[in-house]
Chain A
Amino acid sequence: DTAVSQTPKYLVTQMGNDKSIKCEQNLGHDTMYWYKQDSKKFLKIMFSYNNKELIINETVPNRFSPKSPDKAHLNLHINSLELGDSAVYFCASSPDPTGDQPQHFGDGTRLSIL
């Protein structure tokens, strides 16, 4: 009974392609996040959604578009993939955006651009 699950776990694709990563949480949380972890292990916030509404949108290229069909799902679509997009993408969730509860992370999606 995985709490935060991402698919796929690995994604290898060519430059210029469009791809999507899906995330689902069964914790009943209201808030979900996407993070990018680069080769130096820095985790950087990309987006945050609360109850299907965007609340944080960091400076990421507009090739990245998150979509939240319901509060249990937050998908990430990436257009025109570039070499620099290679990273591990983590989805996370928390009960609410401002409370004192920590975020729970998924296992990550390793994206490799050829």
Chain B
Amino acid sequence: EDKVVQSPLSLVVHEGDTVTLNCSYEVTNFRSLLWYKQEKKAPTFLFMLTSSGIEKKSGRLSSILDKKELFSILNITATQTGDSAVYLCAVDPHLFSGSARQLTFGSGTQLTVLP
């Protein structure tokens, strides 16, 4: 069974700090790894990673994938209170040619940024 483990489960930092969120996975055939940010409602898409070692960046957020060691990290620099949310990692396995996306989510990391 596919498995996604995120750490830490929760994190409390002060504004301006840099945080690193971890996601490790076990999947039979890997297609992609996705990061989502969930505030009070809908998870919103952050990054999709398919290749090892290529950093994806969006503002203060960046993410990288290591397919050999089966993990990904999400970095947030100069954190702001608006970054407070649950960050979800999901893995999309490649089941067979043309197979439908079937994401397996981790339990998330609850990030709280204090002023």
What distance in Å separates the Cβ of B1 from its nearest Cβ neighbour in chain A?
11
A98 near B42 with CB under 8 A, answer: no
What distance in Å separates the Cβ of B69 from its nearest Cβ neighbour in chain A?
23
A31 CB contacts on chain B under 8 angstroms? 100-101
Interface residues of B in 75-115 (CB under 8 A from A): 86, 88, 90, 98-108
A105 near B105 with CB under 8 A, answer: no
> Is A50 engaged at the interface, CB distance under 8 Å to the other chain?
yes
What distance in Å separates the Cβ of B6 from its nearest Cβ neighbour in chain A?
10
A107 near B107 with CB under 8 A, answer: no
Interface residues of B in 35-76 (CB under 8 A from A): 36, 38, 41-45, 48, 50
CB-defined interface of A53-73 with B at 8 Å, one 1/0 digit per residue? 001100000000000000000
Complex CA distance for A43 and B35, rounded to whole angstroms: 13
A107 CB contacts on chain B under 8 angstroms? 41-42
B102 near A48 with CB under 8 A, answer: yes
Question: Which of B43, B86, B101 has a CB less than 8 Å from the CB of A97?
Answer: B101
B90 CB contacts on chain A under 8 angstroms? 43
A108 CB contacts on chain B under 8 angstroms? 41-42
A98 CB contacts on chain B under 8 angstroms? 98-101
> Is A94 engaged at the interface, CB distance under 8 Å to the other chain?
yes
> Is B34 engaged at the interface, CB distance under 8 Å to the other chain?
yes
> Is B32 engaged at the interface, CB distance under 8 Å to the other chain?
yes
Report 11 cross-chain contacts, Cβ distance below 8 Å, ordered by A residue: A41-B107, A41-B108, A42-B106, A55-B100, A94-B101, A97-B101, A98-B99, A98-B101, A100-B32, A103-B101, A105-B43
A→B interface (CB under 8 Å): 4, 31, 40-45, 48, 50, 55-56, 90, 94, 97-98, 100, 102-108
